[in-house]
Chain A
Amino acid sequence: MNSMQKLLQLPASAVNLVRFQQGMAGEEAKSPVLTPDGGQQVWYNAMQANELRLLTSPEQVPAPDNSTSDSQTQPLRHDDLKEMLDSNKDSLKLEAMKRIVAMIARGKNASDLFPAVVKNVACKNIEVKKLVYVYLVRYAEEQQDLALLSISTFQRGLKDPNQLIRASALRVLSSIRVPIIVPIMMLAIKEAASDMSPYVRKTAAHAIPKLYSLDSDQKDQLIEVIEKLLADKTTLVAGSVVMAFEEVCPERIDLIHKNYRKLCNLLIDVEEWGQVVIINMLTRYARTQFLSPNQNESLLEENPEKAFYGSDEEDSKDDKLDAASLVKRKPYVMDPDHRLLLRNTKPLLQSRNAAVVMAVAQLYFHLAPKAEVGVIAKALVRLLRSHSEVQWVVLQNVATMSIKRRGMFEPYLKSFYIRSTDPTQIKILKLEVLTNLANETNISTILREFQTYIRSMDKDFVAATIQAIGRCATNIGKVRDTCLNGLVQLLSNRDELVVAESVVVIKKLLQMQPSQHSEIIKHMAKLTDNIQVPMARASILWLIGEYCEHVPKIAPDVLRKMSKSFTGEEDIVKLQVINLAAKLYLTNSKQSKLLTQYVLNLAKYDQNYDIRDRARFIRQLIVPTEKSGALNKYAKKLFLAQKPAPILESSFKDRDHFQLGSLSHLLNAKAVGYQELPDWPDEAPDPSVRNVEVPEWTKCTSREKRKEKVEKPFYSDSEGESGPTESADSDPESVSETESESGSSSSSSESGSDSGSRGEESGDQSEEEEEKKKKKKKKGKEGPRKACPESAGSDPSEEEEEQEQGKKGKKKKPQDEGKGASESSWEEGSVSESSSSKSDSGSEAEESQSEPESRRRTTPPSSKPAPKASRKETKEISLLDLDDFTPAPPQPASSPAIVSTSLVTDLEGLTLTNASLAPTMLSPVFSTVKTYELLHRMAGEGLSVEYYFNRQPFPPDPHMVAVQIQFSNNTESEVKNLRVSEPKLVSGMRIQEFQEIESLAPGDTASVIMGIDFCDSTQAANFQLCTHSRQFYVSIQPPVGELMAPVFMSENEFKKEQGKLTGMSEITEKLTLPDKCQSDHTIVQRVTAAANVSRVPCGADNEYRFAAKTVTSGSLILITLERKEGARAHLTVNSEKMVIGTMLVQDISQALAQ
Chain B
Amino acid sequence: MIHSLFLINSSGDIFLEKHWKSVVSRSVCDYFFEAQERATEAENVPPVIPTPHHYLLNVYRHKIFFVAVIQTEVPPLFVIEFLHRVVDTFQDYFGVCSEVVIKDNVVVVYEVLEEMLDNGFPLATESNILKELIKPPTILRTVVNTITGSTNVGDQLPTGQLSVVPWRRTGVKYTNNEAYFDVIEEIDAIIDKSGSTITAEIQGVIDACVKLTGMPDLTLSFMNPRLLDDVSFHPCVRFKRWESERILSFIPPDGNFRLLSYHVSAQNLVAIPVYVKHNISFRDSSSLGRFEITVGPKQTMGKTVEGVMVTSQMPKGVLNMSLTPSQGMHTFDPVTKLLSWDVGKINPQKLPNLKGTMSLQAGTSKPDENPTINLQFKIQQLAISGLKVNRLDMYGEKYKPFKGIKYMTKAGKFQVRT
> Using a CB–CB distance below 8 Å, which chain A residues touch chain B?
47-48, 51-52, 54-57, 59-64, 89-91, 94, 98, 101-102, 104-107, 125-127, 130-131, 134, 138, 141, 162-165, 171, 174-175, 177, 197-199, 203, 206-207, 209-210, 213, 236, 240, 243, 268, 271-273, 276, 280, 347, 350-355, 357-359, 378-379, 381-382, 385, 387-390, 392-394, 411, 414-415, 417, 419-421, 423-425, 449, 452, 455-457, 493-495, 661-664, 666-667, 669, 671-675, 986, 1017, 1019, 1064, 1067-1070, 1137-1139, 1142, 1145-1146
Contact = CB atoms under 8 A, between A and B. Distances in A.
B47 interface: yes
A385 B230 contact: no
A107 B239 contact: no
19 contacts: A51-B25, A62-B25, A62-B27, A175-B118, A272-B125, A273-B82, A280-B75, A379-B230, A382-B232, A390-B81, A414-B198, A423-B41, A424-B41, A452-B417, A457-B367, A663-B73, A671-B55, A1142-B217, A1142-B249
A1110 to B, nearest CB: 13
Nearest to A125: B151
A304 B76 CA distance: 33
Interface in B217-274: 217, 219, 229-235, 238-241, 243-245, 249, 251, 258, 261, 263, 266
Contact of A425 (B44, B50, B151, B313): B44
Contacts of A663: 48, 55, 70, 73-76
B14 interface: yes
B81 A671 contact: no
Nearest to B25: A51
Q: Across the A-B interface, give the 3 residue pairs with the lowest CB-CB distance, nearest first.
A: A673-B72, A91-B149, A62-B27
Contacts of A107: 14, 17, 26
B162 A206 contact: no
Nearest to A50: B25
Contacts of B14: 63, 107
Interface string B365-378: 10111001010000
Contact of A424 (B44, B58, B70, B198): B44
Nearest to A57: B30
A378 B228 CA distance: 12
Interface in B156-198: 157-159, 161-162, 166, 170-171, 188, 190, 198
Nearest to B51: A55
Interface stretch (B106-114, B328-336, B355-363, B381-389): B106-114
A695 to B, nearest CB: 31
Contacts of B230: 378-379, 381-382
Contact of B72 (A198, A666, A671): A671
Contact of B157 (A55, A162, A209): A162
A1070 B239 CA distance: 13
Specify which of A131, A213, A495, A1146 lies most central, judged by the most chain B CB atoms within 10 Å of its CB.
Answer: A131
B331 to A, nearest CB: 18
Nearest to B199: A414
B84 interface: yes
B241 A62 contact: no
A91 B149 CA distance: 6
B73 to A, nearest CB: 4
B297 interface: no
B399 interface: no
Nearest to B42: A423
Nearest to A411: B266
A51 B157 CA distance: 39
Contacts of B396: 1138-1139
Interface in B51-97: 52-53, 55, 58-61, 70-78, 80-84
Nearest to A661: B75
A350 B263 CA distance: 12
A649 B18 CA distance: 43
Contact of A209 (B119, B240, B413): B119
A414 B238 CA distance: 32
B217 to A, nearest CB: 5
Interface residues of B, number: 113
B75 to A, nearest CB: 5
Given A105-B106, A134-B114, A1068-B244, 19 more contacts: A101-B111, A175-B119, A197-B162, A198-B162, A209-B121, A276-B78, A352-B234, A354-B77, A354-B81, A355-B77, A387-B59, A393-B48, A414-B198, A421-B372, A423-B41, A457-B367, A672-B72, A1138-B249, A1145-B240
A1062 B365 CA distance: 74
A664 B118 CA distance: 24
Specify which of B122, B159, B243 lies most central, judged by the most chain A CB atoms within 10 Å of its CB.
Answer: B122
Given A273-B121, A390-B77, A419-B415, A455 B369 contact: yes
A425 B238 CA distance: 37
Given A51-B25, A663-B74, A457 B81 contact: no
Contacts of B81: 353-355, 390
Nearest to A1143: B164
B25 A55 contact: yes
Given A126-B153, A421-B415, A671-B73, A164 B158 contact: yes
B197 to A, nearest CB: 10
Contact of A130 (B70, B78, B153, B251): B153
A182 to B, nearest CB: 15
A206 B22 contact: no
B161 A213 contact: no
Contacts of B46: 392, 425
Nearest to B393: A1064
B298 interface: no
Contacts of B415: 419-421
A666 B215 contact: no
Contacts of A417: 190, 198-199
A358 B77 contact: yes
Interface of A is mostly: helix
A392 B47 contact: yes
A1069 B244 contact: yes
Contacts of A411: 266
Contacts of B24: 51
B215 A1017 contact: yes
Contact of A393 (B47, B70, B365): B47
Contacts of A164: 157-159, 161-162
A419 B46 CA distance: 19
Contacts of A198: 162
Contacts of A495: 368
A268 B44 CA distance: 36
B15 interface: yes
B63 to A, nearest CB: 14
Contact of A667 (B50, B84, B199): B50
Nearest to A139: B23
Contacts of B17: 105-107
Nearest to B171: A986
B213 to A, nearest CB: 11
A105 B19 CA distance: 9
A387 to B, nearest CB: 6
Nearest to A417: B199
B395 interface: yes
B107 A106 contact: no
Nearest to B17: A107
Contacts of A1070: 244
B284 to A, nearest CB: 11
B408 interface: no
A197 B158 CA distance: 14
B219 to A, nearest CB: 7
Contacts of A131: 107, 111
Given A199-B161, A243-B121, A273-B78, A350 B239 contact: yes
A48 B25 contact: yes
Nearest to A244: B121
A564 to B, nearest CB: 30
Interface in B30-52: 30, 41, 43-44, 46-48, 50, 52
Interface string B298-336: 000000000000000101100000000000000000000
